[in-house]
Amino acid sequence: MRMGGICWIFGKVSVEQLSMLHPEVLLVPILMLADYFLTIAGALLYKRGYGKHVRYENYELNPMWQRSVDAVRWFNPRHLLITAFVTGFLLLVGEHVDPSVEPFYDFYFGLIATLFMIIVGRHLGNILIFLHAIKHPGDLSGEARLSYRVALKASNSQLWQVFLPLVVMAIYEKSAFALGCLCAPPALAVGHFRWRRKYQKQLQKMASQSQTKEEPPRPPSVTTASS
């Protein structure tokens, strides 16, 4: 067999045919899976110490995963399906041989990779705090309750710490990849805005339902028949 070729089940396939144009795309499913599993791990550690003093209305901010996190579901078919879809999309675009598609891939890879790096970084930070609270329980005292809106606001405010350095990088680099990285914090902020609107609609619906239950029944109207 020639150098540069290997024997495969269905024939001979060259190394060039097997190699990926963008192997870095494999980082995306790793980050997406790490996001979900670190969320579950963080929720469990949160309950062991930190959660006794700082109580969140919802530990998970994304409404799509709140029930799964509350139920501690390590295996989530929906999340796996979304991960496979996003990875497949990037593979489809990244392995395209048309050079005109390259900036499109660079932008979306930068956007998705940076977005999940931000999320995974927050999970790691939370886990370190939770582990400290478990190891040193005396360092926390009292109790604070944070509403869902406050948690969203705090998460949104922390995006500035990442956004400003990315602005400098995008100005200096001037590439589709840098622009995609720069768009990651605003994309998360848009997600926070949508989750907050959904939360407010749920509150309004609950308030209207409670008012309906509290209203006393109206007496039946009396109609007088005219002869």
pLDDT tens digits for 133-168? 899 888 888 888 888 888 888 888 899 999 999 999
Q: What is the pLDDT of residue 198?
A: 85
Instruction: Show the domain range for 99.
Output: 22-200
| Residue 9, domain member (yes or no) | no
Q: Which two tokens stand for residue 64?
A: 């799509």
| Residue 211, domain member (yes or no) | no
pTM score over 0.85 = no
| Residue 166, domain member (yes or no) | yes
Residues of the chain with pLDDT under 70: 1-21, 96-100, 211-227
Instruction: Give Cβ neighbours of residue 104 (< 8 Å, ≥ 6 apart).
Output: 93, 176
| Residue 35, domain member (yes or no) | yes
Give the number of domains in the chain. Answer: 1
| Residue 171, domain member (yes or no) | yes
